[in-house]
Amino acid sequence: MMKELLKKLTQTYGPSGNEEIVRDIIRDEIKAYVDEVKVDVLGNLIAVKRGCGTKVMLAAHMDQIGYMVTHIDDKGFLRFARIGGISVGNSINRRVIFKNGVTGVISYDGDIDRISDIKLEKMYIDIGASSREEAEKTVAIGDVAVYCSSFSENNGKYTGKAMDDRAGCALLIETARRLKSSPHEIYFVFTVQEEIGVRGAKTSAYALNPDIGIAIDVTRTGDTPKARPMAVKLGGGPAIKVKDALVMAHPRVKGLMVKRAEELGIPYQMEILEAGGTDAGPIHLTREGVPSGVLSIPCRHIHSDSEMVDASDMENGVKLLQRILEEEIDIF
């Protein structure tokens, strides 16, 4: 079930600021397992499981990185701006797709001798149009394209676009499905615009004013040839964040996650991410402060069209989050 859910979510269009299609799918997937589902002004989807205990905010972002059209030239080629952390090296000769189904290929003016020399202003999207007028029949300034790639499974690994962070969304949905009872009031929050400044988490956390916050997102690994050393690998279990560029995980939240993982006897890893951040960044700075942590899903090839996660890490992530929610939260 997790595989099919993840496939559906990753194959759905939803770049930052255009999350409505994937939001509708998430709503349909989770509504049977919660007491209320609502959408706030910014577009965050908030699914509430009522309770009288600790107010727990769980956040996974719906949006994915993309390419926004800024200019269409006389020959029908599209110039673009980056939406989120697009890598130029990961973009050359990649297929992309717009909301209306139009596909294109990202290319470059001239030959490429070194990836490091690639300039964004020399890149363009080719949709096969022969003139500006032909291109404008299907694409307009401000339209956003995302990677166009298929979902696959090999050796217990799932590969596809938008694992960041549809993997986190799938984990939250599956947790809600399995969670039969909890002493807490739980907010499953599927946030918008994380990739362009963790914006949805900031507004939703302010409105909900939770007692504790846990972001669910992907993280990098150090298990590929010549990878930057990092004590996280695929198949090593969910990662419990220590710090990243936006948050120093609250020691009691981090300790709670470690304690529950050890009680379950599941593998886990400690994560220190030197660059990048998650929704936990704005959550922990909300109002007078919210004790926060992050449950991370190890992911190779982040921000490419072929991100890879491990099925066992996803499964153990669900087990860990479910256990946290079923028990008393003794961090106060």
So what's the pLDDT on residue 89? Answer: 81
Q: What is the pLDDT of residue 228?
A: 87
Q: Exposed (0-12), middle (13-18) or buried (19+): which is 133, by Cβ within 10 Å?
A: exposed
Helices (H), the chain: 2-10, 20-30, 132-135, 163-178, 199-208, 251-264, 280-284, 311-326
Residue 17 has pLDDT above 80, yes or no: yes
In contact, 188 and 34? CB cutoff 8 Å: yes
Among all residues, which ones are annotated catalytic? 194
Q: What is the pLDDT of residue 85?
A: 92
Q: What's the whole-model pTM score?
A: 0.95
Which is nearest to 30 in space by CA: 52, 47, 6? 47
Report domain extents, the chain. Answer: 2-64+161-326, 66-147
Per-residue pLDDT for 48 more than 80?
A: yes
CATH architecture of 2-64+161-326: 3-Layer(aba) Sandwich (3.40)
Per residue in 126-164, pLDDT tens?
A: 999 999 999 999 999 999 999 999 999 999 999 999 999
Distance of CA 87 to the CA centre of its chain: 16
pLDDT confidence of residue 87: 86
Write down the pLDDT at residue 53.
86
| pLDDT at 116 exceeding the cut of 80 | no
For the domain bounded by 66-147, which CATH number is listed?
2.40.30.40
Q: What is the pLDDT of residues 233-291, one digit of tens each?
A: 999 999 999 999 999 999 999 999 999 999 999 999 999 999 999 999 999 999 999 99
The string of pLDDT tens digits covering residues 69-84 is 999 999 999 999 999 9
pLDDT at position 109 is 84
Residue 88 pLDDT > 90: no
Identify the pLDDT of residue 283: 98
How far, CA to CA in Å, does 1 sit from each of 8, 166, 170, 178, 318? 11, 15, 10, 12, 13
Structure tokens at 309: 């996660």
pLDDT value at position 200?
97
Cα separation values, 236 from 13, 62, 223, 299, 308, Å: 30, 25, 10, 11, 14
Peptide bond into 310 cis (omega under 30): no
Q: What percent of the chain has pLDDT over 70?
A: 100
Question: How high is the mean pLDDT of the chain?
Answer: 95
Query: What's the whole-number mean pLDDT along residues 212-233?
Result: 94
Q: Whole-angstrom Cα distance, residue 154 to residue 137?
A: 40
Mean pLDDT within 301-307: 96
Helix (H) or strand (E) holding 296: strand 292-298
Q: In the prediction, which pLDDT does 227 show?
A: 85
Question: Could you tell me whether strands 292-298 and 212-219 are parallel, antiparallel, or unpaired per DSSP bridges?
Answer: parallel
| Tens digits of residue pLDDT in 188-211 | 999 999 999 999 999 999 999 999
Sheet with 152-154, side-by-side order of all strands: 152-154, 157-160, 307-310
Q: CB within 8 A of 24, min separation 6: which ones?
A: none
